[in-house]
Chains A and B, each alone.
Chain A
Amino acid sequence: MRHSPMGGAGRRGFRAAGMPVTKAKDVKGTLKRLWGYIKQQKIKLFAVVLAIIASSGANVASTMLIGRAIDKYIVRLDFPGLARFSIVIVAVYALGACASWFQSYIMVGIAQRTTQSIRRDLFNCLHRLPLNFFDSHAHGDLMSRLTNDVDNIGQTLNQSLVQLFSVVLTISITIFAMLSISPLLSIIPFVIMPIGIALSRFFVKRAKKYFSMQQKDLGELNGVIEETISGQKVVKVFGRERIIMQKFQKKNDDLRISGNKAQIYSSFIMPIMNSLNNLSYASVALFGGFMLIKGFGSLTIGKISNMLTYAKQFARPINELAGLLNILQSAIAAAERVFEVMETEPEVMAGKHIKKQTLRGEVVFKDVTFGYSKENPVLKDVNIHAKPGETIALVGPTGAGKTTVVNLLTRFYDVDKGTITLDGEDIQSLARNALRQCLGMVIQETYLFSATIRENIRYGRLDATDEEVEQAARIANVHRFITNLPKGYDTVLSDAGEGISQGQRQLIAIARVMLANPSILILDEATSNIDTRTEKHIQDALLTLMHGRTSFVIAHRLSTIRDADKILVINDGQIIEEGSHESLYAQKGFYYNLYTSQFKRVLQE
């Protein structure tokens, strides 16, 4: 939430000729996949291609017609003929305009719908991915694939693809037209163009160097900005404003310099191409005039006028071509990154269904071994037996593996060895969703959505009425707090501020679970930010709710777990002690030490 992707600042605006492009690894495969999306609208696409041919053809033809009008009618002063011919020219123009309208009109739909399907597939696939995918990929990177990359594909489809096709077509038709008018004069643009391309390559190469410097500086500056601003309160508390300012200023000045160079080198291409363009134009005028006077190659004024227009027209698309190829390349790379996500092995969702109404809630961990990486087992041969309705507490130092137990029970991860059964069924054979529907969880990191408080609580059960939502909030002891807010239940939660503390957010999350009314309850440090008195209230409520249902409680605070039916002490991935509070206390072992350290010093006083 807090981490907005900063790397792609000004993503379109900052891209210019010479910008470094990340190249796709498998262009063919990516294009094939992309085609899979586009081909659903094959017929429309075919129509677009026809329209592009028509509009490019009309464009070149109209220029030729104007030349002919000059030669045939204006020079000969044939006005009735000119009038008739004008109608032809207007008709060609109209045809071209219609074709280009038709083409973009249809293409908008194709592009938008294709992007929509890609976006939909990507989103849906996100929900099928296992959690370790999210653990192993940087949040910012994923976010940038989901947003920037998809936008990039969409914009390219929408604009650049058609442009590319029409540019290529225009160049070819123009070359053909020039050759048919005067092969001799055509030599001029054909000679000047490679010079232009070579020159622009020179600048592009230079610019590329500065662009990657600029990208690096921009990335670093944005890094400083993001980190500092999101930790601004700490910066203030330590009075680090001045030091941070210095750091920022250095990066800002680096960017000022590299940005300036990148900008200048990349933009120099434009006036240079522009003047080359004019060079070609002037040369055509000069040699054309010369040839006309000398009577070479059967030239006419109209033909020279045509050649002038073509010489100008010729340069522009070649200029554009380089930029377009760049854009296309980066769009393919974007598509590849998107498809990479889609290709990730999904979680198997299918399996047997269970109903939470008929669930007894017997949970058995048998010889469970698991590690987030194969070399490092977090749980080793763990055995747990929770009878229906029992409350099981898991205690132990940080990193002992308590949360991992929860991750396995919910099948966020699957065991490496051993089995976990629910009412005697191996949970691996159950449908993940059916399994999760039976479990209610309040987890360490409270995540609420940026929606109203009411909507957040209702997330527990979508068809709950307002009264039920408020009832759940009342049980979770947060109703009074909510009604005291200026907007009450309609307060929109956002990522910071609003005067809602971490503890209050947790209470809202608890209300959400209350509403879900699960068969098995899991509280993973659910009350760590809540004071014990409030926690006591909630626990009373949870006890009522959980009456006759199995629950797992993880907590540092021993008071939270004292009343559990069974306490499991986990250390270093193994259960080292097990029993009720009284029996463990009497054992004088690990638990005893953990427990008594809380008030030992009182007794000593």
Chain B
Amino acid sequence: MRNLLKYLKPYKLYVILAPLSMLVEVLFEIQIPRLMGRIVDIGIQTGDISYVFVTGAKMLGFAAVMSFGGMGCIYFASKASQNFGADLRYDLFKKIQSFSFSDIDHFRPASLITRLTNDVIQVQNLVLTGLRMMTRSPLISIGGFIMAASINLKLSLILAVTLPILVGLILFIIKKSFPLFSLLQRKLDNVNSIMRENLSGIRVIKAFVRSDYEKKRFEKANAELTQVGISSGKILASSMPVIMIVMNLAVVGILWYGGFLTSTKELEVGQIIAFINYTTQILHSFMMIGFMFIAVSRAKVSSERINEVLVAKVDMSMPENPYKNPIKEGKIEFKNVSFRYKTGNKEYNLSNINLTISPGERIAILGETGSGKSTLVSLIPRLYDAVQGQVLIDGVDVRDYDLDVLRSGIGIVLQDTILFSGTVEENIKWGDDNADEKKVREAAEISQASEFLDAIPEGLKKTVGQRGVGLSGGQRQRVAIARAVIKQPKILILDDSTSAVDVMTEAKIQKGLKKKLGSATTITIAQRISTALDADRIIVMKDGKIAEEGTHKELIELGGIYLEIYKSQLGTEGLS
């Protein structure tokens, strides 16, 4: 939590003024019972009406000043906490923007989202209550105690005995209940995640007729949650009356001992009333402190999760003097490249790849699922860094490039096609912000997206939801291709990006690419032989290695994996 405190630094003034305002409130607030006691002891007992009025007016004045103090504190605390939250969220978001692909894989998007939203708000709320309640309660306790002691030292001995007991009790309850509360949170997460899964997987559950199994699973989680909820609730239920009884016993004790002290004229009646008032104030503050501990421990978990992201070392180092010349030729070389996603993995996903792709060459990559096709191409725009060896573009190691320069020269369509909410046009313009409508239209034509866009009245203005909801898989793929094409990249990578497009449309896309982006180096990962046919060179991968390499004809003649794939897809007709 300490690491996050630096976000309060720019708002130092607020952070100082908030407790100061609170101090004003408390200073005047603690005077009030004492003044009241004086009205009783001096005004009433002596029948001095003017004293009653003067003191009463003083009390009213104090109450007014108090409220200004309180409002000031809220004003400054709100400013500090809102700005703190916004700055923290900004830095967190910025940090995530700098993450490499493997960092994103490591933290997982869903978890990053929770950290940016819920966790930041948790910590922000703690700052708010911290600046308000956490200054108020100690101030009231200390101030109240001083006031009480100044009324009568002997009587305050009762407080001196009660307070440690109360502190002990609160600590005991926190210690007892805290593990239960985090357990409760876990059980609740459990129940909610089963809910979530059943919602997302309802088709699978219905298809496999697993309702009863899921119900049983849920019933168990639900019962566990209820159980923990009851036991933690019961601890809280018991703690309040126990604290109350301690407090009230103290009040009776004060009454009794105070009464005794009045007989020896050491104390006035009004002072007893004031003393009891202070006592209840102090005890209430103590309880507040106790509850705040629970808030702190909850926010602590959040702050740790935030900090984890903030201190994460980005798993990709940037060159000190980056190479800033844009990609001109589009020549790609792999030199003894090996790669694996996690250091713990037993097998390398790529091992010892050597490959040179000339400028303008059109390469198709085929191979089994998991043979390393996507991995291979993801090293080119430096989505991941090679573990061994080098990837060079135009003779420069990709790790030496300025990352923006590198990626702006490469168009890539990922396997998982994600679009963003907005119009289709806006999505396509991701590739080039300055593109005019003509350019967008052209890109849509190349990718064959115009085929379905022309059929709807909104055309390019068709709005899509998050991730591209509202378009079918094949339509999304075509928009994603347009988005990459409009960049006019020197290197174009299509990672299985026509899998949901029918064969005829795919052929049209390929034709368009050849015509409009003929000079670009193109790498296409494909499942279908028909996708690969046009390529200058076909690469067949197996187990993270290049198994076969050559033109369609050469590979057919070679009679290896490629021929086998060919036969399995197209039979022998095409060969005769």
Q: Is B83 an interface residue (CB 8 A)?
A: yes
Q: Is A501 an interface residue (CB 8 A)?
A: yes
| CA distance in complex: A285, B108 (Å) | 62
Q: Is A586 an interface residue (CB 8 A)?
A: no
Q: Are A601 and B121 in contact (CB under 8 A)?
A: no
Q: Are B256 and A86 in contact (CB under 8 A)?
A: yes
Q: Which of B36, B71, B81 contacts A285 (CB 8 A)?
A: B36
Q: Is B260 an interface residue (CB 8 A)?
A: yes
| CA distance in complex: A73, B259 (Å) | 8
Report the stretch among A6-14, A36-44, A368-376 that lies at the interface.
A6-14
The 9 closest A-B pairs by CB, nearest first: A271-B70, A286-B56, A108-B233, A503-B369, A275-B67, A282-B59, A104-B237, A497-B105, A10-B121
| CA distance in complex: A516, B101 (Å) | 37
Query: What 7 new A-B contacts, CB under 8 Å, besides A499-B342, A556-B499?
Result: A10-B121, A227-B466, A279-B63, A501-B370, A529-B369, A531-B565, A602-B574
Which chain A positions have C-beta within 8 A of B3? none
Q: Is B503 an interface residue (CB 8 A)?
A: yes
Report the minimal beta-carbon distance from B539 to chain A, rounded to whole angstroms.
14
Tell me the number of A-to-B contacts counted with CB atoms below 8 Å: 492
Please, which residue of chain A has its CB at the minimum distance from the CB of B410? A237
Q: Are A232 and B109 in contact (CB under 8 A)?
A: yes
- Residues of B267-315 at the interface with A, using a CB-CB cut-off of 8 Å, are 269-270, 272-273, 276-277
Q: Is B226 an interface residue (CB 8 A)?
A: yes
- Residues of A477-520 at the interface with B, using a CB-CB cut-off of 8 Å, are 481, 484-486, 494-499, 501-504, 507, 512, 516
Please, which residue of chain B has its CB at the minimum distance from the CB of A241? B97
Please, which residue of chain B has its CB at the minimum distance from the CB of A154? B229
Asked if A2 meets B241 with Cβ closer than 8 Å, knowing A131-B206, A225-B93, A270-B74, the reply is no
Q: Are B218 and A240 in contact (CB under 8 A)?
A: no
Q: Are A278 and B222 in contact (CB under 8 A)?
A: no
| CA distance in complex: A233, B390 (Å) | 22
Q: Are B418 and A143 in contact (CB under 8 A)?
A: no
Report the minimal beta-carbon distance from A173 to chain B, rounded to whole angstroms.
17
Q: Is A177 an interface residue (CB 8 A)?
A: no
Report the minimal beta-carbon distance from B59 to chain A, rounded to whole angstroms.
3
- A70, A283, A535 — which one has the most chain B CB atoms within 10 A of its CB? A70
Question: What are some 22 contacts across the A-B interface (CB < 8 A)?
Answer: A10-B121, A13-B121, A69-B255, A74-B255, A139-B199, A225-B117, A236-B101, A245-B93, A264-B75, A267-B78, A275-B64, A279-B60, A293-B44, A293-B48, A308-B277, A441-B207, A450-B197, A497-B105, A503-B370, A529-B496, A531-B368, A594-B503
Q: Is A272 an interface residue (CB 8 A)?
A: yes
Q: Are A496 and B105 in contact (CB under 8 A)?
A: yes
Which chain B positions have C-beta within 8 A of A235? 97
The number of residues on chain B lying at the interface, defined by a beta carbon within 8 Å of a beta carbon of chain A, is 182
Q: Are B36 and A308 in contact (CB under 8 A)?
A: yes
Which chain A positions have C-beta within 8 A of B370? 481, 501, 503-504
Q: Which of B90, B210, B225, B418 contacts A252 (CB 8 A)?
A: B90
Q: Are B467 and A231 in contact (CB under 8 A)?
A: yes
Interface string of A263-296 (1 = CB under 8 A from B): 1100110111011001101110111011011100
Report the minimal beta-carbon distance from A472 to chain B, rounded to whole angstroms.
14
| CA distance in complex: A119, B29 (Å) | 47
Which chain A positions have C-beta within 8 A of B245? 93-94, 97
Which chain A positions have C-beta within 8 A of B206? 127, 131, 410, 412, 436
Q: Are B263 and A253 in contact (CB under 8 A)?
A: no
| CA distance in complex: A275, B81 (Å) | 24
Q: Are B273 and A598 in contact (CB under 8 A)?
A: no
Which chain A positions have C-beta within 8 A of B263? 77, 79
Which chain B positions have C-beta within 8 A of A437? 209
Q: Which of B240, B407, B552 contacts A104 (CB 8 A)?
A: B240
Report the stretch among B142-150, B156-164, B173-181, B522-530 that lies at the interface.
B522-530
| CA distance in complex: A234, B418 (Å) | 7
Q: Are A599 and B40 in contact (CB under 8 A)?
A: no
Q: Is A462 an interface residue (CB 8 A)?
A: yes
Asked if A108 meets B211 with Cβ closer than 8 Å, knowing A86-B255, A497-B105, A602-B533, the reply is no
| CA distance in complex: A486, B101 (Å) | 21
Asked if A112 meets B233 with Cβ closer than 8 Å, knowing A89-B252, A93-B252, the reply is yes
Q: Is B483 an interface residue (CB 8 A)?
A: yes
Q: Is B4 an interface residue (CB 8 A)?
A: no
Q: Is B128 an interface residue (CB 8 A)?
A: yes
- Residues of A107-125 at the interface with B, using a CB-CB cut-off of 8 Å, are 107-109, 111-113, 115-116, 119-120, 123-124
Report the minimal beta-carbon distance from B505 to chain A, rounded to whole angstroms.
9
Q: Are A90 and B90 in contact (CB under 8 A)?
A: no
Which chain A positions have C-beta within 8 A of B89? 252
Please, which residue of chain A has its CB at the minimum distance from the CB of B346? A484
Q: Are A90 and B96 in contact (CB under 8 A)?
A: no
Q: Are B273 and A308 in contact (CB under 8 A)?
A: yes
Asked if A530 meets B369 with Cβ closer than 8 Å, knowing A272-B67, A274-B70, the reply is yes
- Residues of B179-208 at the interface with A, using a CB-CB cut-off of 8 Å, are 188, 191-193, 195-208
| CA distance in complex: A507, B368 (Å) | 12
Which chain B positions have C-beta within 8 A of A113? 226
Q: Which of A96, A398, A497 contacts B472 (CB 8 A)?
A: A398
Q: Which of B269, B529, B574 contacts A75 (CB 8 A)?
A: B269
Which of the four size classes fits the interface of chain A? Answer: 35 or more
Q: Which of A6, A70, A503, A504 contacts B273 (CB 8 A)?
A: A70
Which chain B positions have C-beta within 8 A of A93? 244-245, 248-249, 252
Q: Are A238 and B431 in contact (CB under 8 A)?
A: yes
Q: Are A70 and B53 in contact (CB under 8 A)?
A: no
- Residues of B482-537 at the interface with A, using a CB-CB cut-off of 8 Å, are 483, 487, 496, 499-504, 507, 527-530, 533-534
Report the minimal beta-carbon distance from B380 to chain A, rounded to whole angstroms.
11
| CA distance in complex: A119, B187 (Å) | 14
Interface string of B96-135 (1 = CB under 8 A from A): 1111010011101110111011100110010010000000
Which chain A positions have C-beta within 8 A of B59? 278, 281-282, 285-286
Q: Which of B44, B345, B416, B530 contacts A597 (CB 8 A)?
A: B530
Report the minimal beta-carbon distance from B190 to chain A, rounded to whole angstroms.
11
Please, which residue of chain A has its CB at the minimum distance from the CB of B101? A233
Interface string of B341-365 (1 = CB under 8 A from A): 1101111010000000000000000
- Residues of A216-253 at the interface with B, using a CB-CB cut-off of 8 Å, are 222-223, 225-227, 229-241, 243-245, 248-249, 252-253
| CA distance in complex: A69, B233 (Å) | 36
| CA distance in complex: A522, B367 (Å) | 26
Q: Is B561 an interface residue (CB 8 A)?
A: yes
Q: Is A301 an interface residue (CB 8 A)?
A: yes
Which chain B positions have C-beta within 8 A of A70? 255, 269, 272-273
| CA distance in complex: A142, B501 (Å) | 32
Q: Which of A66, A223, A260, A502 contacts B82 (CB 8 A)?
A: A260
Q: Is B7 an interface residue (CB 8 A)?
A: no
Which chain B positions have C-beta within 8 A of A134? 199, 202
| CA distance in complex: A225, B96 (Å) | 11
Q: Is A180 an interface residue (CB 8 A)?
A: no
Q: Is B396 an interface residue (CB 8 A)?
A: no
Q: Is A201 an interface residue (CB 8 A)?
A: no
| CA distance in complex: A301, B85 (Å) | 51
Q: Is A418 an interface residue (CB 8 A)?
A: no
Q: Are B237 and A496 in contact (CB under 8 A)?
A: no
Which chain A positions have C-beta within 8 A of B214? 127
- A294, A449, A536 — which one has the most chain B CB atoms within 10 A of its CB? A449
| CA distance in complex: A142, B198 (Å) | 11
Asked if A557 meets B527 with Cβ closer than 8 Å, knowing A282-B32, A497-B108, the reply is yes
Q: Are A494 and B113 in contact (CB under 8 A)?
A: no
Q: Is B25 an interface residue (CB 8 A)?
A: yes
Which chain B positions have C-beta within 8 A of A120? 218-219, 222
Asked if A229 meets B96 with Cβ closer than 8 Å, knowing A98-B241, A272-B71, the reply is yes
| CA distance in complex: A386, B111 (Å) | 47
Q: Is B404 an interface residue (CB 8 A)?
A: yes
Q: Which of B78, B244, B374, B564 contacts A263 (CB 8 A)?
A: B78
| CA distance in complex: A244, B90 (Å) | 12
Q: Are A112 and B193 in contact (CB under 8 A)?
A: no
